[in-house]
Amino acid sequence: MKIMFIQSTPPPSDLPGAPARVRFAELCAGYPGRQVLHRLTAEIPALATTALVGPNGSGKSTLLGVLAGVIRPTSGELSRDGTRPAFVPQRGAVGDALPLTVRQTVEMGRWGAGGLWRRLTRRDRLVVDSALDRLHIGDLAPRQLGELSGGQRQRTLIAQGLAQQSDLLLLDEPTTGLDLEAGERITALLTDLVADGVTIVQATHDLRAARSADACLLLREGALAGRGHPADVLTTSALAGLWTDAGHPSA
Ligand SMILES: Nc1ncnc2c1ncn2[C@@H]1O[C@H](COP(=O)(O)OP(=O)(O)OP(=O)(O)O)[C@@H](O)[C@H]1O
Write down the pLDDT at residue 182: 84
Which residues have CB under 8 Å from 66's CB, separation 6+?
24, 27, 29, 37, 72, 73, 78
Q: From the CA of 30, give the closest atom in ligand 1.
A: 12
Let me know the angle formed at the C-alpha of 50 by 111 and 58, rounded to the nearest 5 degrees: 90
**How far are the Cα atoms of 75, 182, 248 from residue 132, in angstroms, in the given order?**
39, 17, 34
Beta bridge partners of 160: none
Compute, in angstroms, the gap from residue 154 CA to the centroid of ligand 1.
21
Q: What confidence score (pLDDT) does residue 116 get?
A: 60
How far is Cα 162 from Cα 134, in angstroms, rounded to an integer?
Answer: 9
Report pLDDT for 251. 60
Q: Would you say the CB of residue 202 lies under 6 angstroms from ligand 1?
A: no
Query: What is the pairing mode between strands 86-88 and 215-220?
Result: unpaired
DSSP for 73-140, written as a single string: -SEEEEE--SSPPEEE--GGGS-TT---BHHHHHHGGGGGGT-TTPPPPHHHHHHHHHHHHHTT-GGG
Say if CB 66 and CB 27 are below 8 A apart.
yes
- The atom of ligand 1 lying closest to the CA of 222 is 14
Q: Where are the domains of the chain?
A: 94-165
Q: What is the pLDDT of residue 117?
A: 64
What's the predicted TM-score (pTM) here?
Answer: 0.88
ipTM over 0.85: yes
pLDDT at 181: 87
| Ligand 1 pocket residue status of 247, Cβ below 6 Å | no
Are 209 and 173 spatial neighbours (Cβ–Cβ below 8 Å)? no
Amino acid 9: pLDDT: 39
Q: What was the pLDDT predicted at 80?
A: 82
Q: How far apart are CA 104 and CA 204, in angstroms?
A: 27
Strand partners, 34: 31
Contact 157, 88 (CB under 8 A): yes
31 lines ligand 1 (CB under 6 A): yes
Run means of pLDDT, 10 residues per run, the chain, 251 residues: 42 63 96 96 96 95 94 93 86 72 93 70 94 93 91 91 94 87 89 93 93 96 95 91 64 60
Q: Which of 196, 224, 227, 223 is nearest to 213 (CA)?
A: 227
**Res 13: pLDDT:** 47
Give the whole-angstrom CA distance, residue 201 versus residue 204.
Answer: 10
